[in-house]
Structure 1
């Protein structure tokens, strides 16, 4: 780890905090390593509420706060903030709007950062390709092209599938607890990979510190991978036999997008209605080969009784 002593994590949200906690724990085994986090000014100086509680937790974890704004700062301004760091882990999410991930990537290159974990904690954008209907997915693919076209910065992509909780969000429209309905996107045999933010945090830290070092590659992880048929069986057992199964084929999903062009859930459902790119076998993942236990959909449900 000689060349990667100073590590910066971008963001301290739903994924950023689990990554920061896990990196902080790992750093205890590497006394020369320091962990910092990039926060907007208002978050860095929070005096009340959840932001202050988060700020206090960061202090207890021994994490230094660096101020910056991924959306407002230019490439030059971001590269100045990135310059002191040997490695960057991007947990910013999509909140910055279109073009933000490309800007961050270009700033990483300009700063000469030795190692970069981009915000790619999602599906396999190489397989999905362009034209999925998701603009941010197209941008994620462009980020991969930028990473591969340069030799300044070594990179690691951690492919995680969706956050486990999102599969059960009413807005996604797959599981409806009120009507006891499970909808299949495209086909009952299509699958989805999902991982909790806590597991992503632990595994990202393990991948970062893994020896021999993982560089310039995509590492797949998974809390669970299940078909919509398997999901329906899981929910039927949970709801004690009460279940409505509804297939949303691509024609229906496309009609929903056309009728509701401003509904992100409709576009997301269409994007996930595919046989590849959004799921991979758990037996082929880093966590499986390392013997690391992760949270399955059933285990997640057991902790969330309201479903």
Structure 2
């Protein structure tokens, strides 16, 4: 990235992923360069900013962001409830905006669309070219398509359509006027999610591993820490990446491979030490979802069981292409304890 002009970066949200992205940015070689002119800012709710919050946990976290990661500015903002106009004004001064505020039940429906509209408007009326990495840290929603078992994914497709110049006539006009260089980074599932007992794939307390679909069905997984590493790499060293979807993955594994690795780490098929393997195929998951259509976990499982848009060829990932080593499932398991 050329340092002829200062580069101001805003990360939206300072939760698990937002903090990981800020860490990735702070540790990136571009920020340790003698010619560094990059500033880091983070958007959090006004009530969480120092001077407003009395919560010692939040105060310590803010101090970590400021003193250890070099965050120079805390921008007040509530992406779930602020208007498009308010967010547009907040985004206007920044060159690069990275969305890390999550989606789904954490925010009202349409929040990611609102954020993206505000980014486009801030570029259109501010006359300043922007780089934008929206909250798309997950699956290849284009491949999954609309009407999947997980209806939350449909909004992610609407964001993609908006950035590509689609939507309402007003959206099309703003997208045409806005100088926004967007990059969608598909990262697969957060690796930790694979080992959550309530998700159901790896239930360590019950010593059970389940496949979604078949044992040969694959899934891509990445740790939040590594998503932060790659978000920083793509934002600060885009090279030829522009207005496109790219892929990042720590590992792409079949459920059978996951079961093998779990047994390798925590005990193989020896009497009293093995792991039970259960199959949750598409038919079974479809029946369960019919019985409980509002169950969010079942919706996710149904999508992953389809195996479409949830597994990326490692050779096509930015990390492999740039020789950046990320944590794989075996290494992750090595850090876990039952």
* Smaller-chain TM-score bracket: over 0.9
Which of 100, 103, 107 lines up with 2:118 in the alignment?
107
CA contact (8 A) 2:96 2:235 kept: no
- TM-score (normalised: structure 2): 0.87
| SS of structure 2 residue aligned to 1:15 | helix
Q: Name the residue aligned to 2:39.
A: 34
Q: Is the 8 A contact 2:5 2:37 kept in 1?
A: no
Deviations, residues 70-124 of structure 1 (Å, cap 9, x unaligned): 0110000100101111110001111222100000000011101521100000000
Contact 1:4 1:87 in 2 (8 A): no
Counterpart of 2:13 in structure 1 is 11
Deviations 1:179-199 (A, max 9, x none): 221111111111110000111
Question: Could you tell me which residue of structure 1 aligns to residue 84 of structure 2?
Answer: 75
Deviation at 1:31, TM superposition (A): 2.3
Distance 2:77 2:236 in 1: 26
| 8 Å Cα contact 1:186-1:248 kept in structure 2 | yes
Q: Is the 8 A contact 1:134 1:267 kept in 2?
A: yes
Cα RMSD (Å)? 1.5
Residue 230 of structure 1: aligned partner: 257
Which consecutive residues of structure 1, in runs of 5 or more, have no partner in the other structure?
none
Offset at residue 261 of structure 1 (A): 2.8
When residues 211 and 204 of structure 1 are mapped into structure 2, their CA distance, relative to the original with a 3 A threshold, is closer
Aligned length: 306
Decide whether aligned partners of structure 1 residues 170 and 268 sit closer, same or farther in structure 2, where only a CA change above 3 A counts. same
Match of 1:277 in 2: 309
Larger Rg, first or second structure (1 or 2): 2
Q: Judge conservation of contact 1:208–1:214 (CA < 8 Å) in 2.
A: no
> Does 2:297 match 1:265?
yes
Give unpaired runs (5+ residues) of structure 2.
124-128, 166-174, 269-273
Aligned to 1:48: 55
TM-score (norm 1): 0.95
1:301 partner SS: helix
- Which residue of the other structure, out of 66, 70, 78, is the alignment partner of 1:62? 70
SS in 1 for 2:306: coil
Shift of 1:9: 0.5
C-alpha deviation, 1:214, in angstroms:
2.0
